[in-house]
């Protein structure tokens, strides 16, 4: 199967598994706050075919940043049609040497499909076993919900990926930013991390943390 075929199969499977037998869809009305079950539905009289089409991938993000990585998300905030369907999509690019730092998505399982380039990807299980693999074009990998995972461009050309989630809003927490970009006391962080307080302060300065 091609990367696109694998990707479309995952989208179709996820959508069918989340289907609501009481209604066909629930295009989000972003004028209201999001609740635990998602956004309220847009009035059917205002729904058009354009609600089900996303064109944002035409303009990918800039990889000229510290991680040399960009994402163009199609979560519910960018694509209201995914509301309640248990699916969302991201287009990602990594420049040579680029990386996606260790992070987690508390709200959904992730599937990546490499479209171009070569990456090293992996995740760490709750028993602290690492599962890593070199992926090339036409290959895919799944990161189970909530587990720490990462990607690194190990090739000499830009890597391009399609990424799907089993949630319209999977959330994200980057571990380095969570640890050192917060306002927790450096002395407490030293105690709970076993990292010397001087090094903690250096890392806080690097990631924008305080105290």
How many Cβ atoms from other residues are within 10 Å of residue 86's Cβ?
18
pLDDT of residue 178: 80
How many distinct helices (H) and strands (E) make up the chain?
A: 4, 10
Do residues 154 and 119 make contact, with C-beta atoms less than 8 angstroms apart? yes
**What's the mean pLDDT when you consider all of the chain?**
87
Categorize the per-residue pLDDT at 5 as very low, low, confident or very high, splitting at 50, 70 and 90.
low
pLDDT in tens, 40-66: 999 999 999 999 999 999 888 889 898
Range 184-189, long-range pairs (CB < 8 A, 24+ positions): 184/209, 184/211, 185/211, 186/211
Binding site, annotated residues for oxalate? 105, 110
Class of residue 138 by CB neighbours under 10 A (exposed 0-12, middle 13-18, buried 19+)? middle
pTM of the model: 0.79
Domains of the chain, by residue range, sit at 61-175, 176-207
pLDDT at 17 exceeding the cut of 50: no
pLDDT at 193 exceeding the cut of 90: no
Binding site, annotated residues for Mn(2+)? 103, 105, 110, 149
Range 61-175 has CATH code 3.30.70.890 = no
Binding site, annotated residues? 103, 105, 110, 149
């Amino acid at each position: 199967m091609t990367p696109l075929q694998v990707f479309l199969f995952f989208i179709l499977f996820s959508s069918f598994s989340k289907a609501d037998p009481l209604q066909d869809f629930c295009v989000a009305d972003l004028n209201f706050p999001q609740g635990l079950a998602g956004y309220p539905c847009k009035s059917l009289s205002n729904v058009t075919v354009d609600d089900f089409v996303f064109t944002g991938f035409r303009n990918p993000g800039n990889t000229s940043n510290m991680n040399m990585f960009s994402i163009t998300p199609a979560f519910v905030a960018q694509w209201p049609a995914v509301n309640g369907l248990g699916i969302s999509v991201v287009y990602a690019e990594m420049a040579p040497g680029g990386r996606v730092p260790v992070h987690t998505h508390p709200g959904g399982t992730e599937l990546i499909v490499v479209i171009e380039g070569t990456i090293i990807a992996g995740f760490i299980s709750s028993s602290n076993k690492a599962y890593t693999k070199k992926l090339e074009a036409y290959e895919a990998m799944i990161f189970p919900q909530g587990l720490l995972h990462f990607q690194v461009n190990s090739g000499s050309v830009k890597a391009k990926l399609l990424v799907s989630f089993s949630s319209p809003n999977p959330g994200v927490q980057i571990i380095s930013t969570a640890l050192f970009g917060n306002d927790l006391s450096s002395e407490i962080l030293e105690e709970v991390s076993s990292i010397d307080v001087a090094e903690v302060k250096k890392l806080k300065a690097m990631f924008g943390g305080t105290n």
